[in-house]
Amino acid sequence: MKRIINTVLIVSTLSVAGFALNSCQDALDITQPGELQEDGVYTSVSNLNEVLNGSIYGQLDPIDEIYFTGVFTDEVKPGFGSGGQEFELHRYFLDPATAVVGGGTVSTGSSDGIWLNNYRVINRVNRLLEGAKNVTPTSPAEQATYNGILAQARAIRAFCYVQLETYFSTNMKDANALGVILLKDVPATDAKLPRSKNQDVYDFINADLDYARGILSYNTSAASRYSVSKGFVNALSARFNLYRGNNALAKQYAKDVIDNSGLALTEANPAQPAGDNPPAIGSAAWNSAFYATASSFNPYRNLWNDSSRGEIIFSLNRLPLGAGQTIGSRWNTNQSNINGVPMWVWGRNLYNLFQNIPGDIRKYTYVDPSSEPNPNYQDPNQDPLDDAIIIDKYPGKTSTATRNDLKVFRLSEMYFILAEAETAEGNLSVAHDLIQKVRVARNYAGTATTPAYSSAQFAYADILKERRIELALEGHRYIDLKRLATIAGVTMDRNAIDDTVPVTNLPNNSYKYTLPIPVKETSANPNAQQNPGY
């Protein structure tokens, strides 16, 4: 058993990259609990909990997925502070060997980073589960803690496999299509495992989710958004089943979260600070109160500056000096205003969408007031970089301007999943009403409107439109275009000024809507079959 637990590397990618999983080289913060020598790790329930918090939660980080999706799709365009980083990615160059440098932070690549980080977390979960076999709880309370640790770890492993399947499976709706490498335990360092078919990976995901669901419960406390709970498990189940085409289960689990999580959609009101003479919306005085560093008077803004939970089901805590990368520095070098050297700004067509909705709070929440949109952006003689629409969806925390929690699951996504499932079942009016609820919540003027859904195609297009606005820069757009663009009758939607060269949109059904298996994996593991087109 000890030989297996002491295994340093489990995937060829990790071996080639040279990450030692029991050393501080691959830890994000050397003060994290869980950085213990192997002989001292798996000896007690307390140590298991330290490994869970420091080595698994501390490493879980979908920032590569968020950044890749934003740059590759139609969410962002180069800002005037750009040094040309990831222009190739923005122009759809996907290479199994490509490395990406984002926001001043070195990433292991558009596919490398996603592949490597998720397998690193899976490896750590597998090692914890193996080590836990040597630990015997000594009381009922300790047994409950022990069970909770295993349940959280297995739910996180399921999340990582869903992430991998989302980006690397050619077709999640085909149970027999090629999935990813399935690691059920800690194999020998020289193992060269093939990719499994989707159904085998799905069975493993479902086993983890069922186990966690049977132990964990919903928790409505503010701090509970940072811990895996039944809300995380069922939200993940809803997303996973939607992606794989099981609409009945997607609907079941999304509804369970909506009905039983104790959360409600975060409201756009109050839209003005309290008082007899509140400042006009958009005025300097209003901006000062709305964009306040510590907290705003507005509930939806407070969701994004991390001063309140709002509708967040699960979020990765990013303390000012703690583990995890800074999401804000992927878009703005040092702060989310026009003086923060913006490397990426909002794509013009996406900005136009939420800017032109009367009463929509997101036009303020997502865009810093120092922005300088170019009113003549449609003039072909204008400089494409002279359209400074500053991203402020991640405004930072009080002491760290570029650091925010990563919102992994929010209640609005559950409404979108439910609406999509209802559309698939032909319940167009039900789907319409679900989307309308989200729009009403985001509208401070009471003017939210959703047109009648006259056909499934129209419904899918409107759901995709609302997902594009609400979930912008949360890592959804890439897979949403892959899943929905064709049946919705739409395509990727970049404006002509979204690049310094002539703009194109990636065609629907392009092989590039599936990422390549990193060359670090395929070169060291000949059994890892490459995806078509690469």
| Residue 108 DSSP SS3 | coil
Spatial separation of the C-alpha atoms in residues 104 and 126, rounded to whole Å: 32
Spatial separation of the C-alpha atoms in residues 189 and 159, rounded to whole Å: 24
Amino acid at 417: I
The secondary structure of 219-252 as a DSSP string is --SGGGGGS--HHHHHHHHHHHHHHHT-HHHHHH
Q: Under 8 Å CB-to-CB from 57, ≥6 apart: which residues?
A: 156, 316
Question: Which residues of 317-463 form beta strands (DSSP E)?
Answer: 344-346, 406-410
Whether this model's pTM surpasses 0.85: yes
- Per run of 10 residues, the mean pLDDT along the chain (length 534 residues) is 32 36 31 45 94 95 96 98 93 79 43 94 97 97 98 98 98 98 88 96 98 96 94 98 98 98 98 95 97 94 96 94 87 95 97 96 98 96 95 92 96 98 98 98 96 98 98 98 98 97 96 96 95 96
**In terms of C-beta density within 10 A (0-12 exposed, 13-18 middle, 19 or more buried), how is residue 92 classed?**
middle
User: What does the CA dihedral 382, 394, 162, 425 come to, rounded to 10 degrees?
Assistant: -70
Amino acid at 485: A
Sign of CA dihedral 62, 63, 66, 72: negative
CB atoms within 10 A of CB 375: 9
